[in-house]
């Protein structure tokens, strides 16, 4: 189980799920594909389950124009 969601100051929103089962380049990796709806600073949250516990990791990304 994994999901990405992101929000920006202009209320732009992005919600992604991994591409296919076991998507990724190697063990322990997952791949997502999507486009940010607008430029700006986004706060991204990755939720994933590891050993039965749902965890959340937060990141900030600047999306150029």
The answer, yes or no, to whether residue 55 has pLDDT greater than 90, is yes
The domain containing residue 28 runs over which residues?
A: 2-63
Distance CA 15, CA 7 (A): 9
Instruction: Identify the pLDDT of residue 25.
Output: 53
Q: Which two tokens stand for residue 55?
A: 């965890």
Instruction: Identify the pLDDT of residue 26.
Output: 59
Number of domains within the chain: 1
Helix, coil or strand: residue 22: coil
Residue 12, C-beta contacts closer than 8 angstroms, at least 6 positions apart? 36, 37, 38, 40, 42
> For residue 61, what pLDDT band results from cuts at 50, 70 and 90?
very high
Q: What is the largest CA-CA distance in the chain?
A: 39
Instruction: Identify the pLDDT of residue 31.
Output: 84
Fill in the DSSP letter of residue 27.
Answer: T
The single residue listed with the structure tokens 């799920």 is 17
pLDDT digits (tens, 9 = 90+) for 3-39: 888 888 888 888 988 886 555 555 677 888 888 999 9
């Amino acid at each position: 189980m994994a999901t990405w969601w992101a929000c920006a100051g202009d209320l732009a929103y992005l919600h992604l799920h991994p591409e296919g089962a076991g998507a990724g380049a190697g063990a322990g990796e997952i791949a997502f594909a999507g486009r940010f709806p607008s430029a700006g600073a986004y706060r991204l949250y990755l939720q994933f389950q590891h050993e039965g516990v749902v965890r959340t990791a937060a990141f900030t990304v600047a999306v150029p124009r």
